[in-house]
Amino acid sequence: MHVDPRQGRLDGARFVASPNCDERPPEARIELLVVHGISLPPGEFGGPYIEQLFTNTLDFTAHPYFESLRGLEVSAHLLVRRDGELIQFVPFHCRAWHAGASSFQGRSRCNDFSVGVELEGCDDVPYTEVQYAVLAQVTRALRAAYPDLGGDRLVGHCDIAPERKTDPGPAFDWERLRADLGDRDTV
């Protein structure tokens, strides 16, 4: 698995273009990898709804919860489904709209300098073996393409927006991921 730097795409990922992105600021470098958790409807897995949300095609009448998402324009660079399927929505050189109001080490606007990876899941349900394997492969490929993504630059949404977000949640095994990556000394 590797990143094509000209296209900003990860080989092995199915590409589905999201309109919910824009250009990064000219001086921005990719320096942060943010892990998220998402399920639509909450606590349910499978189905087309995450992809529809990220492409502004969600049918708000398909589930009562979806009405609360009306007008929301969000995306992520990547989604890792429960079965390991990998979908890319935004090229890495573009800014995906995944972090919202956020801050990392005193820097706000994390979307400017981060890559967002969504895992299909929720805070209190363990993520799958294949999701960890794919996330580790993705992280290695991103680190090879963007050297500023060191071990201390791998965080959860909860770390950059703690007042608003809890994902990927307590069910996510950070120690396992860091061990898979050889990042045992980072926290």
Please report how many Cα atoms fall inside a 13 Å half-sphere around the Cα of residue 82, on the Cβ side. Answer: 14
Pairing of strands 9-10, 103-104: unpaired
Cβ–Cβ under 8 Å, residues 148 and 31: yes
CA angle 149/152/156 to nearest 5° reads: 90
Cα–Cα distance between 176 and 184 in angstroms, integer? Answer: 9
Cβ neighbours, 10 Å, residue 62: 14
31, 51, 118, 120: the catalytic one is: 118
118 catalytic, yes or no? yes
Question: What is the set of active-site residues?
Answer: 118
